[in-house]
Amino acid sequence: MSDVRSFVRFCETEFGTAVMDREAAYIRQHVTEDDRILNVGCGIGSLEERLLNYEIIGLDRSEDMVQAARDRVAAPIVLGDATALPIATASVGTVVFVSTLEFIPEVDSALAEATRVLASEGALVALVLNTRSEYVQSNLQREGSYLRRMIHRGSETLTQTILEHVDGEQGFFLGISDEEVFESSDPTTAAISAIVGTPTG
């Protein structure tokens, strides 16, 4: 099964919908309707579907994902690489990464590009899969899980790398247990480590 079909199937499950809804709700807390948002690694456009009243641009390096997103949402979807964003310097208010940085080998280059395109006082919102959580650990061990493609499997190390590029704070959310989604800020049950900050440069 292709990655696109797998993502579509996941997003259409009750569990997948609950996960995407919680992630979108978190991001909504850190943006305003006046922001121009860049969603790096947009996949099939799940976040764009949930932020209909916002000016949001989706970007992905996969042509198949970009086409799927364009078929699903009206927001502009751009084919591009996180390490060489086809976006003007200082032109967006918020850059969002949703479970994306873990899969990028040149993560420092991606973060440098993210801070380059941010306007002054702009914010980076990075939702990182928390490798301390039971949910992520079980998926890393499960044959066929997409999470096994993660390059950066230490979320605390990745968080520190992000915080070298932005001045911000880390939090945890999205408790998951046996596909039940609940409120949690406990690192052993919260599947997402969230970093929100402004560029340090």
Count of Cβ atoms closer than 10 Å to residue 155 Cβ = 23
Query: What tokens were used for 121?
Result: 């006082």
70: left (phi over 0), alpha (psi -120 to 50) or beta: alpha
Query: What tokens were used for 95?
Result: 């850059």
Burial class (CB in 10 A: 0-12, 13-18, 19+), 137: middle
pTM of structure: 0.96
Please report the domains of the chain, with CATH numbers, ordered by start residue. 3-199 (3.40.50.150)
- Which H/E stretch holds residue 135? helix 134-141
pLDDT score for 1: 54
CA distance 79 to 62: 7
Over the stretch 29-83, which tens digit does the pLDDT of each residue have? 999 889 999 999 999 999 999 999 999 999 999 999 999 999 999 999 999 999 9
195: left (phi over 0), alpha (psi -120 to 50) or beta: beta
Nearest CA among 175, 192, 172 for reference residue 183? 175
User: Per-residue confidence of the chain (201 residues) as pLDDT tens digits?
Assistant: 588 998 889 988 999 999 999 999 999 999 988 999 999 999 999 999 999 999 999 999 999 999 999 999 999 999 999 999 999 999 999 999 999 999 999 999 999 999 999 998 899 999 999 999 999 999 999 998 999 999 999 999 999 999 999 999 999 999 999 889 999 999 999 999 999 999 986
